[in-house]
């Protein structure tokens, strides 16, 4: 036990985004292996076994940490790219950063704000990789697909609330587009595995969920998880566009492109991640209280 504790003390991790969906699971799993992680938060917190640091990536000059060997970032990769030069230290060996498969799937989006954001994210990925290589630090950039954690995420949970409220779900063009929803805890497990894998150094990985299913079936699984009968209405794309001003009132935060993308396949190959660090996510069977 003493040897195990000594090894954990020498292997310290900094988790940026540790109060978020995936980051929270990373902290939880680090604690399970007797690591005492450093966690950056914009608010003052106290958790047994965790060393909390108050700060903000938007103010990198104020960030000061004891030496750490691994950096996990589930927060905004764009902000990390700006702050990363302030985070390097002689002990740092690995950087694992979460980005998004949106850098691939939304390149041709008709929404200008989305195109701008994707351009900035892709640039951030390049800057993170270049900065790490300049400091001889191994990097891994993970691009998850549709992230969920029942009752907590901003992808699947809002859909469940709409279904619970209205009892049905409109699907543009029958929603045949393929999806691979991935659980946040699986992403945390994958990040920890990638950080300890030499094969994953200086590589990008897509991290899809454990099964590929049509958007329509994904929505059906949400109905099942709510223990409600599946009630889905197919809406022609032309009608969706024409009636979007009305639809937007029912679906806050939606835009025209979100509905149109229900018809588009958004799938990715998990084989490289499986080969290099044992990626093995669960199937999509959400359960809601």
Whole-model pTM?
0.90
Please tell me the predicted confidence (pLDDT) of residue 71. 98
State CA 174 to chain mean position distance. Answer: 27
Q: How far is the C-alpha of 238 from the C-alpha of 218, rounded, in Å?
A: 23
Question: What are the phi and psi torsion angles at 228 (to 5°)?
Answer: -125, 150
Choice between 259 and 89, residue whose per-residue pLDDT is larger: 89
Contact 181, 148 (CB under 8 A): yes
pLDDT single digits (tens) 103-143: 887 666 666 777 888 889 999 999 999 999 999 999 999 99
Q: How confident is the model at residue 3 (pLDDT cuts 50, 70, 90)?
A: very low
Q: Residue 9 contacts by C-beta under 8 Å, 6 or more apart in sequence?
A: 36
Label residue 110 exposed, middle or buried (CB < 10 Å: 0-12, 13-18, 19+): exposed
For tokens 């950039």, name the residue. Answer: 141
Torsion of the alpha carbons at 195, 208, 283 and 191, rounded to the nearest 10: 10
Q: What is the pLDDT of residues 153-178, one digit of tens each?
A: 999 999 999 999 999 998 999 999 99
**pLDDT reading at 7 higher than 60:** no
Whose CA is closest to 99, among 132, 138, 127, 57?
A: 127
Phi, psi of 129 (to 5 degrees): -60, -45
Structure tokens at 145: 């697909």
pLDDT at 253 (0 to 100)? 59
Question: Contact 74/23 with Cβ under 8 angstroms?
Answer: yes
> Is 41 in contact with 54 (CB distance < 8 Å)?
yes
Max CA separation in the chain (angstroms): 67
Q: What is the pLDDT of residues 140-156, one digit of tens each?
A: 999 999 999 999 999 99
Mean pLDDT of the chain: 90
Give the model confidence (pLDDT) of 222-251 as tens digits.
999 999 999 999 988 877 776 666 666 666
- CA dihedral sign of residues 147, 152, 158, 159: positive
Residue count of the chain, please give it: 289
Which 8-state DSSP code applies to residue 281? P
Strand partners, 54: 41
Question: How does DSSP classify residue 282?
Answer: P
Q: Which tokens belong to 156? A: 């699947």
Q: What is the mean pLDDT of residues 259-267?
A: 88
3-state secondary structure of 98: strand
> Is residue 9 predicted with pLDDT exceeding 70?
no
Q: Percent of the chain having pLDDT more than 90?
A: 73
């Amino acid at each position: 036990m003493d040897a195990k504790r000594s090894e954990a003390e020498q292997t310290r991790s900094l988790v940026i985004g540790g109060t978020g969906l995936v980051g929270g699971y990373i902290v939880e799993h680090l604690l399970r292996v007797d690591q005492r992680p450093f966690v950056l938060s914009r608010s003052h917190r106290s958790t047994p076994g965790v060393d909390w640091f108050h700060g903000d990536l938007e103010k990198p000059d104020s960030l000061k940490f004891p030496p750490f060997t691994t950096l996990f970032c589930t927060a905004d990769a764009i902000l990390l790219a700006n702050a990363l030069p302030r985070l390097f230290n002689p002990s740092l060996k690995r950087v694992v950063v979460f980005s998004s498969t949106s850098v691939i799937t939304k390149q041709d989006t008709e929404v200008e704000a989305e195109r701008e954001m994707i351009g900035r994210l892709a640039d951030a990925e390049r800057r993170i990789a270049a900065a790490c290589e300049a400091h001889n630090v191994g990097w891994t950039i993970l691009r998850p697909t549709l992230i969920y954690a029942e009752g907590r995420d901003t992808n699947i949970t809002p859909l469940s609330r709409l279904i619970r409220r209205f009892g049905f779900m409109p699907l543009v063009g029958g929603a045949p587009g393929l999806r691979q929803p991935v659980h946040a805890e699986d992403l945390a497990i994958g990040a920890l595995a990638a950080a300890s894998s030499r094969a994953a150094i200086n590589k990008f990985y897509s991290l899809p969920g454990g099964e590929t299913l049509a958007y329509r079936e994904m929505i059906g699984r949400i109905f099942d998880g709510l223990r409600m009968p599946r009630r889905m209405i197919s809406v022609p794309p032309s009608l969706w566009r024409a009636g979007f001003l009305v639809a937007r009132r029912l679906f806050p935060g939606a835009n025209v492109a979100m509905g149109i993308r229900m018809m588009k396949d958004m799938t990715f190959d998990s084989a490289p991640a499986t080969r290099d660090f044992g990626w093995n996510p669960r199937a999509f069977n959400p359960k809601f209280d």
